Amino acid sequence: MNIIVCIKRVPLTQEVDLEIDELRKGVKKDALAYVINDWDNYAIEEAVLLQEKFGGTVTAITIGDEDDEEILRRALAMGADKSIRIEAGERELDGFTISKILAKTIRDLDYDLIMTGVQADDDNAAMVGIMLAEELGLSHAAVVTGMEPEGNAATIRVELEGGMDEISKIKLPSLLTIQTGINDPRYVSIMGIRKARKKELVVINVEDLGLSEDDLAQRTMIEEVFLPPETEGAEMIEGDPSSVAGQIIQIMKEKGVSI
């Protein structure tokens, strides 16, 4: 089974005081550390587990500059066989353009399955995987928490709302967006990353893909990014259950809520 995994390098924003940039179109990233997108880490692990069980190859793909090769080396250290970096220069990319670039790169590759993370931690758009599947004309499923190939099909488990799961079958080749928690990603050592430098890493320039300017034009425009307004915090209601219930009803009436 030949598997392609699309991954992304994102800024680490947890436990950091974020600042809006001068154009108010994003956050200042100069002082932020970068890591592999969490959802993509699970996708790589799932691909390697399937490869270990069924054979085949795993290819990791990312769009970015030389700094983004860090996550490709990590994927190779986890067990991927080869990797591709697409150099896009200073272009501003949204989900539409990313899916176009990835589709053009992947179209002629040999694959049975494509995996992406459910979403990227920097924009949380959750659109690239499904848009990529549409570009390639593939069957697809989102928020996948389990996958078992069976010949030219696979049984998949998909996470639904309200703690429910759905089990169904999907024809291969297909594209799956992988949810966190589907597995336990393996630890990657420094020595493993060094050894991975011997594996194949191909660099492709986006200009050589034959895409038109319309294909590379953004469809999503950010008007403004701002931090959530500060509030006074939660109002704590104390007392016995009867008293608390009465206070809640009174607050609802004052807020205009019909009871």
| Selection from 54, 51, 110 nearest residue 81 by Cα | 51
**Predicted pLDDT at 105:** 97
pLDDT at 159 over 90: yes
Lowest mean pLDDT among 35-39, 151-155, 234-238, 243-247: 234-238
Lowest mean pLDDT among 19-28, 116-125, 164-173: 19-28
**Predicted pLDDT at 194:** 87
Segment 74-79 shows an average pLDDT of 96
**Predicted pLDDT at 233:** 77
Q: 119 pLDDT band (50/70/90 cuts)? A: very high
Most confident of 15-19, 138-142, 212-216, 236-240: 138-142
Q: 1 pLDDT band (50/70/90 cuts)? A: very high
Across the chain, mean pLDDT equals 93
For residues 113 and 182, what is the distance between their CA atoms, to the nearest angstrom?
Answer: 17
State in words which class domain 3-209 has: alpha beta
Angle at 195 between CA 12 and CA 74, to 5 degrees: 20
**Predicted pLDDT at 227:** 84
DSSP 27: B
Structural domain boundaries in the chain: 3-209
**Predicted pLDDT at 130:** 96
For 222, phi and psi rounded to 5 degrees?
-90, 120
Lowest mean pLDDT among 42-46, 93-97, 173-177, 232-236: 232-236
pLDDT at 27 over 90: no
Segment 222-250 shows an average pLDDT of 87
Cα 151 to chain centroid distance, Å, stands at: 27
Cα 242 to chain centroid distance, Å, stands at: 47
Read off the pTM: 0.85
Q: 208 pLDDT band (50/70/90 cuts)? A: very high
Overall size of the chain counted in residues: 259
Segment 51-61 shows an average pLDDT of 96
**Predicted pLDDT at 198:** 87
Segment 150-169 shows an average pLDDT of 93
